[in-house]
Structure 1
Amino acid sequence: MNKLFSILIVFLFAAQSLAAEEISIKFHLKFGFVKGGEAEMTISDTVFNDRPAIHYHVMGKTTGLANKLYGVYDIYETYVDAETRLPVKTIRNVKEGSYRRYTETLFYHDVDSINSTRSGWRAVPDDLLDLISVFFYFVHKNPFENLQPGDAVVYPTINADKISDVSIKYLHDEKIETDVGKVDCHVLTPTVRKGKVLEKSDGVKFYLAKEEKVPVFIEFEMRVGSLKAVIQHYKIDGVEQTLH
């Protein structure tokens, strides 16, 4: 369950191309009708190695009974180059029960290499992404008006110091009811490895607001039910925004 919670945290945030505002997006995580946690992301402009960059900061934690059972408090940070949208640095700070893991990774795309505090220097595939930047990259590089239902793109992606291909498929458009109103959405399915928890490898549906390109709802189809993430607020510079 802890691993699934962590995957859900990083899947929440495929957001829009951003300018010089600070964005805040917060979700409640629910199993059935029971709240089991919350996740929040902030997105802000910054500078990395004297180049314009974007900083994504994601925090996810269990609450209430779920916290007593699983004790998750995870932080993921990714810095991407503002022009290429490729990651230049990632931080993974995981606390799940008694498990602890802190890893920093630097990306050197000019020589297709990374340097990780966990595994050191190694060669990697061209244009390697991580689990946060992969969704931003997909949205930035693939205008939805150019996509047909069923279209998918595969990217090499690093997660927990392991590299594998992640496929993101565009399913269809749909209007859904959320806590912040009815929202027209693009529906995406990222591939997730099938295991003891997930019912099937494509058992994740990801709803992205069409106009704002903000995630508003996500659902995991699990063997024992569904785990849902429901948007609670979307703020720019501290001001609540309306979704359409």
Structure 2
Amino acid sequence: MKNFIFTIILVGLNLYASANFQELKKVSNIAFTNGEKLSFRLFYSSTMTGNVTAGEMISEISSKNYIVRGDTTLNIKVIGKTKGAFSWFFKVNDVYQTYVDVNYMIPRYFIKRISEGDYEDSRDVKFYHEKQRVDYINNKNKTSGSLKIGKNVQDLISAIYYARTFNTDTFKLNDDISISFFMDESVYQTKLKYIEKQTIKTSIGKVECLKFKPSVLTGGVFKDEDKLIVYISNDKNHLPILAESEVMIGSVKIELVQYANLKNKFTSLKN
């Protein structure tokens, strides 16, 4: 159950082309801007609990930029926590922060502070893309180390925002998009398959979306990769609208319920 809430978001919303540092090009970000705030609600369903509101998540971009080792970055903070009765048997209080280079949309610094049931974790990661290396610190175990990384590796949160800058006009049905990301002292890979355009009903109204089916890593929380579906708004914002999947016991759904300070008009909202 480690990284429970964010495993869905990570696997579901990463899509980016890999390149080493020498090949990096500046990314034209027309999808989001400083001050954007997205609020999500997590729903859980099982024979034991019925349908319950299990948690909430807020993802917010800083109102100003920060300098990290000479590079201008956006600070993106994500807070996720369980709510109500769900907290009685599995309490989650997670905080993630990433500092993303505004020119290349790659992470420069990543912070993880999570508490999930009896499990706690605290890590700091510095990304040196010029040297194709990450330095990491495990604050809980008081250990540290370095790892060579390959092509344009993202972190858990930066990958989601990089995905939103991607030109979806080039996608063809059943295209597979490769993903690389650093998490907990290792680099992982997965793929995302584009399925179709679909208009779905949500808490904020009907939204025209791009539908994706991710391939899930072995040993992840999902029991079948075909059970996870992700929907992203089909407009310039590329907002994460909905992710839903069966898990080991029951099913989960994460849905966008509020938004503020979008960079572009929310044209895919069909109210």
TM-score, normalising length: structure 1:
0.88
- Please say if 1:37 is aligned against 2:55: yes
What CA distance in whole angstroms lies between the structure 2 residues aligned with 1:178 and 1:133?
Answer: 25
From 154, 176, 201, the equivalent of 1:129 is 154
Report what 1:8 is aligned to: 8
Paired residue type of 1:28: R
Deviation at 1:189, TM superposition (A): 2.5
Per the alignment, in what secondary structure is the counterpart of residue 163 of structure 2? helix
| One of 83, 86, 91 as aligned partner of 1:71 | 91
Contact 2:44-2:253 at 8 Å conserved across structures: yes
What letter corresponds to residue 152 of structure 2 in structure 1?
D
TM-score (ref. length: structure 2): 0.80
Given candidates 58, 63, 66, the residue that maps to 1:47 is 66
Residue 229 of structure 2, aligned match among 205, 217, 223 = 205
Partner of 1:17 in structure 2? 31
Q: In 1, Cα distance between the equivalents of 2:10 and 2:38? A: 13
1:193 partnered with 2:217: yes
Which stretches in structure 1 are left out of the alignment for 5+ residues? none
How well do the aligned residues superpose, as a CA RMSD in angstroms?
2.5
Give ranges in structure 2 of 5+ residues lacking alignment: 15-28, 46-50, 139-143
Compare the two structures and name the one with the higher strand fraction: 1
State the alpha-carbon separation in 2 of the partners of residues 186 and 123 from structure 1. Answer: 34
Counterpart CA distance in 2 for 1:16 and 1:53 is 16
- Contact 2:61/2:76 (8 A) holds in 1: yes
SS in 1 for 2:238: coil
For 2:36, the aligned partner's letter is I
Structure-2 change in CA distance of 1:101 and 1:34 (3 Å): same
Whole-Å separation in 1 of the counterparts to 2:12 and 2:60? 12
2:258 aligned with 1:233, yes or no?
A: yes
Deviations 1:76-105 (A, max 9, x none): 111111111111110111111232211010
Amino-acid identity (%) = 25
How far does residue 195 in structure 1 lie from its aligned partner after superposition?
Answer: 4.4
Bigger shift: residues 125-134 or 9-18: 9-18
